[in-house]
Structure 1
């Protein structure tokens, strides 16, 4: 069930890129302000910045935003493809793992949706967890 770890890793990367975009948007605001004011906002004394330097800084931030957005789009596409592939898995173990770990559904709801008893889904869920933990132990060695 290594796919769950891959899915979480991609999701974390997406979250990081989204945070980076928020940070870059703040940088872009500062760069815009620098273009119009011509002064550094962090400096206590008025320091004049030439327009060409201010525009250069602005362009650099815009380039970083484009690059980060491209990476974010790529990661989201990969996550969608992983989700699609996981949904196509056959077998109740995969279905339970997908619904529990990726969709975040409780075992009772999974049992209802798949048409099995709650106790059976609990057994399958614990079997899947043991398999996952066993693989993680082997990978650590």
Structure 2
């Protein structure tokens, strides 16, 4: 059931890339200001920056935004493919693990969706957790 870890890792990467894009957008605003004012915003004393250097900085930030956007789109596509493949698993263990760990559903809702009793789904869920603990102990 390593697919849940893989899914969670990719989701975390997506969150980090989205934060990086927000940071780069703020950096781009500063680069625009630099192009028009010619002064570094962080310096207490006015320091003149030539327009060609300011434009180089601006272009570098634009390139970083493009690269980050492309990586983000690729990660989102991978996550979507993982979700599609996980949904196709047939065993009840996979379905319970997916609904619990990926969709975040409580066990009673999983029981309703799958048509099993709550007690049975709770046993399946416990068995999955035990298998994960056992695997972690074996590989350490």
Q: Is TM > 0.5 for Structure 1 vs Structure 2?
A: yes
What is the aligned residue count?
140
Q: Bigger shift: 131-140 or 95-104?
A: 131-140
The correspondence of residues 32-111 of structure 1 with structure 2, limited to 5 A, is: 32-111=32-111
Unaligned runs of 5+ in 2: none
The correspondence of residues 16-27 of structure 1 with structure 2, limited to 5 A, is: 16-27=16-27
1:45, distance to aligned residue in structure 2 (A): 1.1
1:139, distance to aligned residue in structure 2 (A): 2.3
Task: Provide runs of 4+ in structure 1 moved above 3 Å.
Answer: none
- TM-score computed with the length of structure 2 as normaliser: 0.98
- TM-score computed with the length of structure 1 as normaliser: 0.97
RMSD across aligned positions (CA) = 0.7
Cα offsets for 1:17-50 (capped at 9, x unmatched): 1111111111001000000111111111111111
Unaligned runs of 5+ in 1: none
1:68, distance to aligned residue in structure 2 (A): 0.5
Residue 116 (structure 2) aligns with: 116
